[in-house]
Amino acid sequence: MLAGMSQWLTLSRAAHLLGVSRMALQKRIREGELPSFDGMVTVDDVQRTWPELDLEESGSFEQTRAIREDAFARRLRERVLPTQEALAQRLFAQGQELAELQRTLTRYHQLFESLRGRLDTLPAPTAADLARQLDEGLAQALSVPAPGGDMAALDAMLRVMSAHVTVKPSGREFFVEGSETLLKAALRAGLAPNYGCGNGVCGLCKARVVAGETRDVAPSDYRFSEAEKAQHHVLMCSCTALSSDLVLEVLEAGAPEDIPEQRIVAKVRRIDALNADVMRLHLQTPRSNRLRFLAGQRVTLGIRAGVRDGSDVHGEFPVASCPCDDRNLIFHVSRTDPRAASADFSACLFDGRIRLADDVSVWGPWGTFVLENTSPRPLVFIAVEQGFAPINSLIEHAIAVDAAESITLYWASAQPGGQYLPNQCRAWAAALDEFSYLPLAVDELAAALDANPALAASDVYLAGAASQVDALAAALLAAGVPPRQLHVEPL
Ligand code: FES
């Protein structure tokens, strides 16, 4: 970077530095407060737009980070340092940039001094006047702190602590924290890379390094062919980023049909009541056999009830958690499941026939109720009763992807307080500028949707019992929501 040139940041990088969502940045761009060019903003403009932001003390930064970490990982994640090798490499690269900058400044200074000297030899008064203007201009330039100073320093720090990865051909970006694997970081950011075992065996997570360097951080049994080695292929599940900038060519799932059907035996990790009628079932898959799925999809759960009463029991349930945590699968199971096929499984859970550490078969994923990742339209989520389960997964994914202009969640229930995770919804709204949460009674829903002027310009995701969502879907279409923007999941 040369002196006098402003430093450019992608929106993801600027959002990462500020601890705000990309949605918040895009809103400022739309409102004309933050200039942008080709999806990039300058450090100076960002600093001017957020002059009040104290990055150390900003509650929104901490809150958003906490929300995101809960959403993506569902566990406490320690912010660890990159490996010593990565730190050394990134600091060395920054040292080289600084040395180059210093050499450039020295050359500018020498040129200035030589021009200034020649002015003294020219006839007055024009030359003397010019010399005075130059001296004053230089003194002023050196006395005013450069705008964007804090941001530039923070970005330099970010470049050492986190690696920035650009994915081809999609152009999506993600950050690698500490020495986490590329696969883990990509899933946390809402990407859907191709992968299988997550354990360095199957080779499905192969990616080609287009620019930058990586380093193995986990053992791998997979053997690359000579051609793959020559093309710089790596396994995303067993290596991390060494350099601060990395470009990878990655095979990504673009649609549900890109995800293979899987059969996994998971263990019951936890069961708790969300209210009198809804249980949260937490399953954990083996480390080497995780479930690959897209947010919003369903799976079939089965228990070998024969251990206790001689029969198998199955049920189909939406995964309520985010694909970014592919080992920990969460389900919201209703006591009164309207689907006959799932009622037996629900009954087993509620009457205690499913217990901690039991084996549960998981197969799937099924369904096409998934987010259109590339759509920049506002997102409207409408959950009726336990329709919140797939909506929860979609919202966590939407927050990770951070591409939509705004998110509005309507959650309707016939029971007062039937919204069984109110604190989580309120926390989203508190942490994210562009997130609105409206808990409603079922009979208030139609009027509330009518009052939303942006509905027809939004992507609308509706989930709940078939008897309720079918009528609502018809009403939404009649209200002008284009059919391709309406996604419905009858449970
Ligand atoms: S996912 Fe199987 S080797 Fe990486």
Q: Which of 181, 182, 191, 204 to mutate to test the pocket of ligand 1 (most atoms within 8 A of CB)?
A: 204
Q: Which of 181, 201, 223 to mutate to test the pocket of ligand 1 (most atoms within 8 A of CB)?
A: 201
pLDDT surpasses 70 at 310:
no
| pLDDT digits 0-9 by tens, 144-200 | 666 556 667 777 777 777 899 999 999 899 989 888 899 999 998 889 999 998 889
**Pocket mutation for ligand 1, best pick of 184, 194, 205, 292 (most atoms within 8 Å of C-beta):** 205
What distance, in Å, lies between the first and last C-alpha atoms of the chain? 55
Instruction: Output the pLDDT for position 311.
Output: 64
How many whole angstroms from its chain centre is CA 289? 23
Cα–ligand 1 centroid distance for 83 (angstroms): 22
Cβ(294)–Cβ(365) below 8 Å = yes
Substitution site in 184, 197, 248 for ligand 1 pocket (most atoms within 8 Å of beta carbon): 197
Q: Which domains does the chain have, with CATH numbers?
A: 8-73 (1.10.1660), 160-256 (3.10.20.30), 258-366 (2.40.30.10), 379-490 (3.40.50.80)
Using the mean position of ligand 1's atoms as its centre, give its distance from the Cα of residue 238 in Å.
8
Could you tell me the pTM of the whole model? 0.79
Q: What is the pLDDT averaged over residues 304-333?
A: 83
Q: Ligand 1: which atom is nearest the Cα of residue 222?
A: 3
Give the nearest ligand 1 atom to 201 CA: 3
At 5, the pLDDT band (50, 70, 90 cuts) reads: low
**Which of 199, 233, 289 has most ligand 1 atoms within 8 Å of its beta carbon, as the pocket-test mutant?**
199
The radius of gyration of the chain's CA atoms, rounded to the nearest angstrom, is 27
CA of 181 to the centre of ligand 1 (A): 11
Ligand 1 atom at minimal distance to the Cα of residue 196: 1
Ligand 1 pocket: which residues have CB below 6 Å? Answer: 195-205, 222, 235, 237
Q: Which atom of ligand 1 is found nearest the CA of 202?
A: 2
Nearest atom within ligand 1 for CA of residue 195? 1
Per-residue pLDDT tens digits for 57-76: 433 344 444 444 443 333 33
Q: Which helix (H) or strand (E) holds 60?
A: helix 59-73
The per-residue pLDDT for 491 is 86
The pLDDT of residue 58: 39
Give the atom of ligand 1 at the shortest distance from the alpha carbon of 198: 1
How does pLDDT run across 408-427, given as a tens digit for each residue? 999 999 988 899 999 999 98
Which atom of ligand 1 lies at the shortest distance from residue 206's CA? Answer: 4
Ligand 1 centre and the CA of 47: distance in Å?
41
pLDDT grade for 132, boundaries at 50, 70 and 90: confident
Assess whether the previous peptide bond of 390 is cis (omega < 30° from 0). Answer: no
User: How far apart (Å, rounded) are the C-alpha atoms in residues 98 and 320?
Assistant: 48
Residue-wise pLDDT for 83-109, tens only, equals 888 888 888 888 888 888 888 888 888
How many whole angstroms from 262 Cα to the centroid of ligand 1? 15
CA 249 – ligand 1 centroid, Å: 16
3-state secondary structure at position 287: coil
Q: What average pLDDT score do residues 333-351 get?
A: 83
pLDDT digit string, tens, across residues 191-246: 999 999 888 999 999 999 999 999 999 989 999 999 999 999 999 999 999 998 99
Q: How far apart are CA 489 and CA 319, in angstroms?
A: 13
- Cα 373 to middle of ligand 1, angstroms: 24
**Residue 472 contacts by C-beta under 8 Å, 6 or more apart in sequence?**
382, 384, 445, 446, 449, 462, 464
> How many angstroms does the Cα of residue 242 sit away from the middle of ligand 1?
19
CB atoms within 10 A of CB 186: 26
Determine the Cα–Cα distance for residues 121 and 124; give it in Å rounded to an integer: 9
Distance between CA atoms of residues 84 and 221, nearest Å: 25
Task: State how far the Cα of 69 lies from the Cα of 168, in Å rounded to an integer.
Answer: 26
- Residue closest via CA to ligand 1's atom 1 equals 198
Say which residue, 178 or 378, is predicted with more confidence: 378
Q: Which one, of 411, 412, 410, 491, lies nearest residue 455 by Cα?
A: 410
Residue 2 has pLDDT above 50, yes or no: no
Cα(196) to centroid of ligand 1, in Å? 5
Residue 193: Cβ-neighbour burial (10 angstroms; 0-12, 13-18, 19+): buried
Q: What's the gap in Å between 264 CA and the centre of ligand 1?
A: 16
